[in-house]
Amino acid sequence: MKILTGITMFGLFAGLGVNAFADNPISSYHYLADPAAFATDDEFYILTDTDDESPNTGENDYTIRSLYILSSKDMKNWTDHGMVLSHDREVSYIKNIWAPGIAVVDGVFYLIYPNGASGVGIVSAKDVAGPYHDPVGKLLVGGGGITGCDGISWCFDPAIFIDEDGKSYMTFGGGSGGSRGYGNNFDLFEFSKLSYDKVDLNVGSKTALQGANRSFEASYLHKRNGIYYLSYNDQSQNISYATSKNIKGPYSYVGTVIENPSKINGKGGNNHHGFAKFKDKWYAVYHERRLVMASEKPKLTNGQLPTTTGNHRSVSIDELTWNGDKMNVVKFTESGPAQVGKFDPYQTYKALTSSKQRNVRSRTDYTRGQPVVHVLTPLASKESWIRVSGVDFGKGAENLRVKAASLAEGNKIEIHKGSVSGTLAGTCTLAKTSGWNSYTDNDCAMTGLSGEVDEIFFVFKGSQDSTMGILEWEFQGTKREPEPQTPFGGKAWAIPGKIEMENFDEPGYGAGNDSYSDDDSEDHGAESNGGKSYREGTGVDIYKKATGYVVGYNRTGEWLEYTVNVAAAGDYTMFAAVASGSTSGAFKLSIDGDDITDEIAVPKNEGEDNYDDYGKVKANVKLPAGEHILRFTVTGDWMDIDYIQFAAGKDAKDPDEGGEVGFKSVVRMQAASNATFDVFDLTGKKLGTFTARNMAEATKIWRDGVHAQTVQGFCLIRNRGTGMTAKVRTTR
């Protein structure tokens, strides 16, 4: 099913006490900083970087490598889409990603980011959760990019602005001196083309913006009533602004719009912001230090609390008001903006959609080339909950569907109205699943949910922390009844007979009606099939070979199910066509939950193409008559399987061989000359690419080359053309 495991990025943080803050900051389970804002007609987006990655960040330590996106349709309930971009993902040359910018144009998301303080780049995606890619192929500014930094002291803090006529611009820069000096450290460029696949920077459009009095960093452009507003963090760490009737200026200084957030709790530091209009109101996003100054602080990944208050910042939002053409100084509030419209509970929401949280964590699962998956992992042995505000249930909800993974028995979600201990509307007991990435639908009856409800609480209960992973939820007017899995093609597999492993059952609906379990959502075999998955949406790793399809890259704990029809009860001999380049590959079979084999080891191939040589293993089994569910379960990593065949009788002959069964080659595919091989570590991070004649030569090149001096431990070598892999260990 796979060999290149999707990288799992863990951002695990405990929430604060209920009274530590109100609705600001908008996230209590991790530290976020440097927000930018953009609004479409339907949704308000906030792009932030993260302060989570240095657990003991000092006053001048900014280790920032990842970007998050949050969005809201009502300015009260926010969906956290997770860590959508990180320095070690699609764009390998990113260092520190300080203070990015965001725009959404024709459904395409553009994130403009700094490469530390030495350049600016851009990525694009067709979904808020990615995958993001580089439509330029290099930086826009600095470091071998399209153009240089033009004497700007700090070549960073980019922002992207879309004008009313559709033209797009970026600003960047900052610093305390240098060749440009205060007030002249911001540049403006126009994009000559901005699309998902291609971004062109009009180098000839460069303008050095004038009039940003005592500027320091964080330039930001917005427009209202024909006036352009250039706002920025000044030397006093306030957000100041200047205005102009021309986007290229010159700009005239006006004053301060956001005071330093030390006004909130006495803790100062730098300042950063974004402004956007949504549903006829304007909003300001900014960062401050309410969380780190509170009595309860988020726990970081390694479980440590920060030893200093440092630069751990949090993102808040408040309404921006006006006095004519002047912006009023933003009032910092605990409650945040008023809700705009009611929350519609009859849509599917990512689990971390809430107006407030307590004692929850989150993790972002990343699979290269796929949208990120953001998972809610409650600290369920404590008081753990999320709140949703201003919900309009209309005629009433009778069901709550929760898609979740649960590693322990007894995990449940209670739905309460009004408060954590308010009226109980229903309880969801989560079905136990086989692993963190094995999600199933849980349907739970609800009562008393009709009309407008001010607050709904999802209260998480369990004897252990972080043993449930909530992926999504939705309320439904009526309960959808469970639907059983069905045979692929509509007909059960006949025994005696052959079962093609790629044709496992079609999954049903509801707990217990899954037909497969794979530990990530990516089909690593799609490349061998022209980029299209043979079983779309399952994530099962199916490879196309000259003889048909095989299921590959199997990992321990993964399983596939098949509806079978056994002609008669009695003894049968099972034959499996398998291949492996590892000594660990193994599997077992069960019928209706009862094992019919012990663990069956898959012998390691010693040949050049050890995942291309298929041989047979066998076992004697007893089968009951009639229709049953056969499960194939992987008990040892790194094996491929083509088919399983059952012959009537004990120690029967292999129908394909016509003789005694041994470990004989039944399929052999030669590697092409000068094939391209990619090398990955066991998290899926790409380490290198080179050519070789076959897998044996590729393994030798990697093991005996300079890589052995820099890369230690196990790696996976993959033939790009055939999808076959080998596991190799390098040591000094």
Q: Are residues 393 and 539 in the same domain?
A: no
Length of the chain: 732
Q: Are residues 447 and 559 in the same domain?
A: no
CB atoms within 10 A of CB 414: 18
Q: Are residues 609 and 641 in the same domain?
A: yes
Q: Is position 110 within any domain?
A: no
Q: Is position 440 within any domain?
A: yes
- Identify whether the C-beta of residue 189 lies closer than 8 Å to the C-beta of residue 158: no
pTM given for the model: 0.74
Beta bridge partners of 527: none
Distant-in-sequence, close-in-space partners of 700: CB < 8 Å, separation ≥ 6: none
Decide if pLDDT at 17 tops 90: no
Nearest CA to 536 out of 560, 562, 510, 502 is that of 502
Q: Which domain holds residue 686?
A: 675-730
Beta bridge partners of 474: 401
Segment holding 635, helix H or strand E? strand 626-636
Q: Are residues 504 and 609 in the same domain?
A: yes
Question: Which has the minimum average pLDDT: 153-167, 367-381, 558-572, 646-660?
Answer: 646-660
SS3 700: helix
pLDDT given at position 183: 67
Nearest CA to 3 out of 672, 527, 372 is that of 527
Phi, psi of 315, deg, nearest 5: -105, 130
Residue 146 zone, left/alpha/beta (φ > 0; ψ -120 to 50; rest): alpha
CATH of the domain at 466: 2.60.120.260
Give the tens place of pLDDT for each residue, 34-89. Answer: 999 999 999 999 999 887 655 445 555 567 778 999 999 999 999 999 999 887 66
Q: Are residues 500 and 632 in the same domain?
A: yes
Q: Is position 218 within any domain?
A: no
Domain boundary at 448, 476, 504, which? 476
When mean pLDDT is compared over 621-630, 673-682, 700-709, the highest value belongs to 621-630
Q: Are strands 559-566 and 493-495 parallel, antiparallel or unpaired?
A: parallel
Q: Is position 520 within any domain?
A: yes
Q: Please spell the DSSP secondary structure of 418-469, one letter per residue.
A: SSTTSEEEEEEEPPP-SSTT--EEEEEE--S--SEEEEEEEEEE-SSTT-EE
Q: Is position 694 within any domain?
A: yes
- Identify whether the C-beta of residue 610 lies closer than 8 Å to the C-beta of residue 578: no
Q: Are residues 540 and 605 in the same domain?
A: yes
Residue 335 zone, left/alpha/beta (φ > 0; ψ -120 to 50; rest): alpha
Q: pLDDT-derived band of residue 723, with 50, 70 and 90 as boundaries?
A: low
Domain boundary at 427, 445, 476, which? 476
Q: Are residues 615 and 706 in the same domain?
A: no
- Identify whether the C-beta of residue 385 lies closer than 8 Å to the C-beta of residue 430: no
Q: Are residues 452 and 354 in the same domain?
A: yes
Q: Provide the 8-state DSSP code for 86.
A: E
Q: Are residues 496 and 633 in the same domain?
A: yes
Q: Are residues 685 and 549 in the same domain?
A: no
Q: Are residues 398 and 522 in the same domain?
A: no
- Identity (one letter) of the amino acid at 700? K
Residue 469 zone, left/alpha/beta (φ > 0; ψ -120 to 50; rest): beta
Beta bridge partners of 622: 571
pLDDT given at position 576: 95
Mean pLDDT in residue range 292-304:
60
Decide if pLDDT at 8 tops 80: no
| Helix residue ranges, H only, 253-353 | 262-265, 290-293
Q: Is position 432 within any domain?
A: yes
Query: Regarding predicted confidence, which is higher, 729 or 81?
Result: 81
Q: Are residues 534 and 560 in the same domain?
A: yes
pLDDT given at position 679: 81
Number of domains in the chain: 3
Segment holding 675, helix H or strand E? strand 675-681
- Identify whether the C-beta of residue 427 lies closer than 8 Å to the C-beta of residue 412: yes
Segment holding 698, helix H or strand E? helix 695-704
Beta bridge partners of 71: 45, 79
Domain boundary at 629, 648, 667, which? 648
